[in-house]
Structure 1
Amino acid sequence: MAQSSPLDAYIAGLPKAELHLHIEGSLEPELMFELAQRNNVAIPYDSVQAVRAAYDFSNLQDFLDIYYAGAAVLLTRQDFEYLAFAYFQRAAADNVRHAEIFFDPQTHTDRGVPFGVVVEGLIAGIDRAKAELGVSSGLILSFLRHLTEDEAFATLEAAKPYLHHFIGVGLDSSEVGHPPSKFQRVFAAARDLGLKLCAHAGEEGPPAYVHEALDLLHIDRIDHGNRSMEDESLIARLAAEQMTLTVCPLSNLKLCVVKDLKDHPVPEMLRRGLHVTLNSDDPSYFGGYVNENYSQLAQAVGLTREQVTQLAKNSFEGSFLSTEEKATLISEVESYAAKG
């Protein structure tokens, strides 16, 4: 990254929320090797440097292949606690006050890891982060869209004893060829259970997938949504409904969704009145946690301090916190901005 600027310093202290973070995607190579050794799991890399060298993706599937290989080292409750707490330490260092994190139970249960082991470990990390770091959080169960809806239903059924730990469900993994409509019934079932709904749409998939997520899944939040900018009627609708988009700049760059950060649509999204937030997605793999996403994008596209402040306010407004909790955190952003 280029030399630090006054705006970087401002971003560093800015209170913010992170709304698009895959906890498995925060698995740093050092922890991957430590857990592989402890759990006697073979991984296809012989050093931390070899793992980092493999993080040269040309598309989403290239990334997912490495992502699933890395997840294989996660086997015990303690592994998941370590994973979660390691993320929260980095989030706290970036002044993330609240995080809503995705986890992919099917990635683990398909390997024979019990659902409860995954959830109990993550919750232990979440509880520790709240007590020791002051970071609040919520857990979002994500369905893998390359699997069937019946498998998603089975996962939702397995989740029922742990529902009190979740704030919502999501939809991730390979987007192209797996439209949101494939999961219409299971999202309706999740909504009936009182869960919030979000879905990855419009990252590699077309604007039609965003329409489906809105009209068929009735989501509360869109993850990514970049390709919405190709559809004028969709832009107008998203702006009118103030539908939150959880955009991930460094992920978009690494996965070649944009060729250069200078081409990123966030400035145009803001100009068109869209409710955009900045997030890190899978930060171990994509080269930066949330502050890096703010700083590198700001430098590339020339974001102003006022725009950066608005993005932070959007992050709390777009969260699944209560109205009162949102107001408290947004007032912290405003107080910080007034002092700066």
Structure 2
Amino acid sequence: MTLPTLLRAMPKAELHVHIEGTLEPELIFRLAERNGVVLPYASVEALRAAYAFSDLQSFLDIYYAGASVLLKEADFFEMAWAYFERAAADGVVHAELFFDPQTHTARGVAMETVITGLHRACQRAHAELGISASLILCFLRHLSEEDAFATLEAALPYRHLFIGVGLDSSERGHPPEKFARVFARCRELGLHLVAHAGEEGPAEYVETALDLLKVERVDHGVRSLDKPALVARLAAERVPLTVCPLSNVKLCVYSDMAAHRLPELLAAGVCVTVNSDDPAYFGGYLLDNYRAVFDAHPALGRDAAYALAANSLEASFVPAEQKARWKRDLDAVFAAA
């Protein structure tokens, strides 16, 4: 089995994907027409041409504009289902989807509409595609902690439909400690905790996310390499990093894929995983990210592929017995290859 074929065949989990970031231009225009939303772009091609980001904020501006077409439960379902079909083609066996309710409730969309539409797609993905899926509610860090608390309270009637909370949006000027109290409350509720840190923010944000927010996984975390002691800690404690290679290049965290330092994290023993972040905007879904990394780093081979897939399964928020079943499947793929 060739390496590209193996990357597709190996069972793997996706742990860092913003479901709103899977909205392809074609679906944006279709939903806009269905819902009577006027977009500031003349065509699908004009919208794609606008995907020229210089930093995280320039991306977020167009990301929120795209999300404006999501108004009804069917819209959220259709968006998530389109992602799951692509995930199945990429060999994904489990996905933990980030969603941003504040992006929608601020436009008058009910929390119930958002969560039930996404949950219905998760159920169908399991029934028809064999993909296990869960939802993680993310707080927008450029908004206040009070707003995050209000969002949490609004979501609690649907607590059984999401497994954890995260922290996303612009890092600059919004350190993790801004949300220490709401994360403490979420911990009391038994929710899994993750947070974006160390993407455009410094390595110190990773430490704060671990020490004050008590997160179980760090989303991105590539700036951890600026502090060797932090890398050693991540490796010793098996703290997963959900790295998004194509996103990092698109948002200029790295100049190109050959400059990406994922191999260093892997060599240091960190539980690093590969993910797609906002694939409709950043040029590729999960398999595209794997292939881009391995194409740019020819020293990486089968052992690295196995480690990354195994890390993704280990880092998922599923019962140990399910992880063990997927691990056996992973072993079987490599034994046959």
Partner residue in 2 for 1:307: 304
For residue 123 of structure 1, the aligned residue among 119, 122, 133 is 119
Deviations 1:226-284 (A, max 9, x none): 00000011111101101000000000010001001001111100111110000000000
AA aligned to 2:96 is E
AA aligned to 1:93 is A
Q: Structure 1 CA distance, aligned partners of 2:40 and 2:293?
A: 33
Partner residue in 1 for 2:175: 179
Give yes or no for the alignment of 1:330 onto 2:318.
no
Alignment of 1:206-217 (within 5 A): 206-217=202-213
1:120 aligns to what SS in structure 2? helix
User: Does 217-226 or 48-57 show the bigger shift?
Assistant: 48-57
Partner residue in 2 for 1:110: 106
AA aligned to 2:317 is F
Partner residue in 1 for 2:185: 189
AA aligned to 2:278 is D
Q: Judge conservation of contact 1:60–1:174 (CA < 8 Å) in 2.
A: yes
2:70 aligns to what SS in structure 1? coil
TM-score (norm 2): 0.99
Partner residue in 1 for 2:267: 271
Q: Structure 1 CA distance, aligned partners of 2:41 and 2:123?
A: 33
Alignment of 1:198-237 (within 5 A): 198-237=194-233
Partner residue in 2 for 1:133: 129
Partner residue in 2 for 1:45: 41
Q: Judge conservation of contact 1:264–1:301 (CA < 8 Å) in 2.
A: no
AA aligned to 1:84 is A
For residue 146 of structure 2, the aligned residue among 147, 150, 165 is 150
1:203 aligns to what SS in structure 2? coil
AA aligned to 2:319 is S
TM-score (norm 1): 0.98
Q: Structure 2 CA distance, aligned partners of 1:240 and 1:306?
A: 20
Partner residue in 2 for 1:319: 316
Q: Structure 2 CA distance, aligned partners of 1:297 and 1:180?
A: 29
Q: Structure 1 CA distance, aligned partners of 2:183 and 2:191?
A: 9
Q: Structure 1 CA distance, aligned partners of 2:292 and 2:196?
A: 23
Q: Structure 2 CA distance, aligned partners of 1:131 and 1:323?
A: 21
1:24 aligns to what SS in structure 2? helix
Q: How many positions carry a matched residue from both structures?
A: 336
Q: Structure 2 CA distance, aligned partners of 1:245 and 1:210?
A: 10
Give yes or no for the alignment of 1:286 onto 2:243.
no
Question: For the aligned residues, what is the CA RMSD?
Answer: 0.8
Q: Judge conservation of contact 1:27–1:83 (CA < 8 Å) in 2.
A: yes
Q: Judge conservation of contact 1:101–1:137 (CA < 8 Å) in 2.
A: yes
Q: Structure 2 CA distance, aligned partners of 1:177 and 1:220?
A: 23
Q: Structure 1 CA distance, aligned partners of 2:326 and 2:114?
A: 30
1:75 aligns to what SS in structure 2? coil
Alignment of 1:23-38 (within 5 A): 23-38=19-34
Q: Structure 2 CA distance, aligned partners of 1:307 and 1:81?
A: 35
AA aligned to 2:100 is D
- State the 1:337 CA deviation: 0.7
Deviations 1:188-226 (A, max 9, x none): 000100100000000000011001000000000000000
Q: Structure 1 CA distance, aligned partners of 2:8 and 2:130?
A: 17
Q: Which runs of 5+ in 2 are unaligned?
A: none
- Identity, in percent, stands at 60
Q: Structure 2 CA distance, aligned partners of 1:15 and 1:48?
A: 33
AA aligned to 2:320 is T
- State the 1:6 CA deviation: 2.4
Q: Structure 2 CA distance, aligned partners of 1:257 and 1:298?
A: 18
AA aligned to 1:72 is S
- State the 1:43 CA deviation: 1.0
Q: Structure 2 CA distance, aligned partners of 1:7 and 1:76?
A: 42
2:303 aligns to what SS in structure 1? helix
Q: Structure 1 CA distance, aligned partners of 2:51 and 2:155?
A: 32
Q: Which runs of 5+ in 1 are unaligned?
A: none
Alignment of 1:64-103 (within 5 A): 64-103=60-99
- State the 1:140 CA deviation: 0.0
- State the 1:309 CA deviation: 1.1
